Chains A and B, each alone.
Chain A
């Protein structure tokens, strides 16, 4: 018998769970969920505990508790979709280093599914059919998962996203995500079938959308990517890789011996693209309306 590390109640409402979870690891995750497994492997996945709560004559409730390597990975999974109703599953919100409550929810509910992060855990709890009873049960199970766990801190790279950019651009909070994998990147914003940015488990990356509305102009949006590498050499190598594949018609100018910031701005089919290498971090701006936008934003960073 395998015991779960999460103290889920044996019974919730009229639903009852089996004694032990089904345990899914990196070796059998494809058997359990086919290609969906790549999503979790793209973050620091350790293992998954699965419980199916059943009730006679009623649809079941599926509980999936993903044990991730870091809190950043747990938060990253939640950050892929900020839609739904924010629900508070903890009796009180506290985080020693923050003076204000967290700006982003740690649990979201929608049509019978709650997604949450708590400590290093990410969880999906889904009722096959949404009813008032199943909603209560799903949220109670969510509280059980979160009980006693630290509030998952927001990844530093996500915290560092500017709320606004020079030129009147403001962050769309619902479009900011943390990730590590190029497969996840492509599910948010397709760049290439190849891992152009040399992403991996030792990399931190964020993406966000900024919007500007002007009286005389239609709403404009640009896409921001920020990637942090182990060191500058890795960042420079990744930039060179990206440039060779994505911008082959433009020469790549870099001085690998220099530690000075490196900037590039290019006109391509869907607007202007800019990148900025500073120390171990790369920043990309896609779909900018003109060169001046990129110049202003980079000058203010």
Chain B
């Protein structure tokens, strides 16, 4: 095997050999570091909750906090199986944790109302406000936290296919532009950094007003009111559900299949190489609550 490893091409996707090639290319590139050790590989099915309310935003796309807050509660309860939001949170974090909230900071950012609703919900669950911090930023941010809650906004990305869950921690690398080129396959390795590994307790995606093409720059022609929240404890499964929604929306817009390009290589790598979760639709159980129109999970 060359030092450079195998090079992934379009033909690998057509043949279905992406996983093997990704593993080979990443392994060779990192020259034997232990990132390939088994991590959070899913066994059984990973649960992803989708909660929607047609009135989460008004016609001008202004978020209604009165509608959003019950959506957050329902998302927590559905994801954890608990009957109260307090119990749901306390099954994920403790009052002794320093909890970092990690939103998408700009270019189709996470709605401020989503961050505020999550924070308010945590406080009501008994988490001291001083223990809830903004953890989006450079490498020092996760070091200060014992738990992370990802709050990305759903969007396609012109460089990586999707720029939602796995890309959320890119600033923790200290060298985000290093992941813009073919190294975007390795986004999963950031989740295995010592300061990050094992801390993510929940990923809750802001899918109120997603972007299905040309991200991260906003093009309003490709935004639509999905009015949803998507959540789970398996980040790869959550990303996979997000991908399905974007793919289905693109198909609707174009009137024919309109696959993301480049394909989201980082997702399969996050599954097969970095063992962060599952990208296998057959291993993901999606529960849906609320508004059913244009669910885009078919």
Contact = CB atoms under 8 A, between A and B. Distances in A.
A241 B265 CA distance: 22
A23 B107 CA distance: 18
Interface in A163-201: 183, 186-194, 196
Nearest to A80: B214
Contacts, number: 93
A84 interface: yes
Interface in B251-290: 261-263, 265
A112 interface: yes
B8 interface: yes
B218 A126 contact: yes
Given A34-B176, A187-B262, A193 B157 contact: no
Interface of A is mostly: mixed
A110 B220 contact: yes
A126 B56 CA distance: 24
Contact of A39 (B158, B220, B261): B158
Interface in A219-250: 245-246
Interface in A19-49: 30, 33-36, 38-39
A269 B10 CA distance: 10
A81 B214 contact: yes
Given A187-B158, A193-B8, A245-B9, A30 B177 contact: yes
B159 A194 contact: no
B14 A269 contact: yes
A84 B221 contact: yes
Interface string B203-223: 000000000001111111100
A102 interface: no
A270 interface: yes
Contacts of A245: 7, 9
B107 A113 contact: no
A34 B180 CA distance: 9
Contacts of A192: 7-10
Nearest to B167: A35
B3 interface: no
Interface residues of A, number: 34
A290 interface: no
A30 B180 CA distance: 11
B214 A35 contact: no
B185 interface: yes
A193 B177 contact: no
Nearest to B158: A187
A292 interface: no
B9 A130 contact: no
A36 B218 CA distance: 10
Contacts of A149: none
Interface string B97-132: 000000000110000000000000000000000000
Given A35-B159, A246-B9, 13 more contacts: A30-B176, A34-B176, A35-B180, A110-B220, A111-B220, A111-B221, A126-B218, A126-B220, A191-B9, A193-B7, A193-B9, A193-B181, A270-B11
Interface of B: 7-11, 13-15, 25, 60-61, 106-107, 157-160, 163, 176-177, 180-182, 185, 214-221, 261-263, 265
10 residue pairs, one from A and one from B, having the closest CB atoms: A193-B182, A111-B220, A269-B14, A192-B9, A186-B262, A190-B262, A110-B221, A36-B217, A190-B261, A35-B159
